[in-house]
Amino acid sequence: MFSDKANKIFQEVIEKYHEKDTVDQAFSNPYDSDSELIEHLLYRKCWIDTVQWHYEDIIRDKNIDPVEALKLKRQIDASNQDRTDTVEYIDSYFLEKFKDVEPKKDATINSESLAWAIDRLSILALKIYHMNEEANREDASQEHQLKCDAKLKVLLEQRVDLSTAINQLLEDIANGDKYMKVYKQMKMYNDDELNPVLRGK
């Protein structure tokens, strides 16, 4: 099933990142963009999410130097744009994959695209990894560990549900019961012409 593949790749990414556990490490994608395109995109997507997860930790340091904080804010902005672009690449992959499927007359549209559901699955993999760390952190209190273990169980259940929903959506699209319609994000704040602050400079 597709979600099994995605979850396996997300785990692979997160473990690879934590071998060095630094936001400044070099990125290398082990999947070929020609013959393994969806695997390539999934790996790239989760790497972006993993680095940004740690950006968000760092910027919340109350003692962070303001100059460094501004630099990091710019990195987070760039990462967010990269994340959105990659989601749209994933949706484009599925649009191409299902281009020859004729939707049934009573076919319906989903509230979110496949790629945005996959985006949530990637973030969920990070929540599970880090909640598991907290549930087993030796310098934490037993109360903390138990609370985090309870949260971990919920996250694991959520992954099963989301994985099932994604697999079902793929099946529905393939069968013509649902159809894909993707809207670009059209973010305005990064555009020199659409952001009045940038346009005024």
Lowest model confidence (mean pLDDT) among 33-42, 82-91, 180-189? 180-189
Query: pLDDT band at residue 77, thresholds of 50, 70 and 90?
Result: very high
The Cα 188–Cα 48 span in angstroms is 21
Tell me: the pLDDT tens digits for 122-165?
Answer: 999 999 999 999 999 999 999 999 999 999 999 999 999 999 99
- Is the pTM for the entire model greater than 0.85? yes
| Distance separating alpha carbons of residues 168 and 31, to the nearest angstrom | 26
Give the span between the Cα atoms of 143 and 138, in whole angstroms: 12
Residue 96 has pLDDT above 90, yes or no: yes
Where do the domains of the chain lie?
Answer: 2-192
Confidence check: pLDDT of 12 > 90: yes
200 token code pair: 């005024």
Question: What is the per-residue pLDDT for 117?
Answer: 97
Number of H helices, E strands in the chain: 6, 2
- Kind of pairing, strands 178-179 and 108-109? parallel
Q: How far apart are CA 122 and CA 46, in angstroms?
A: 6
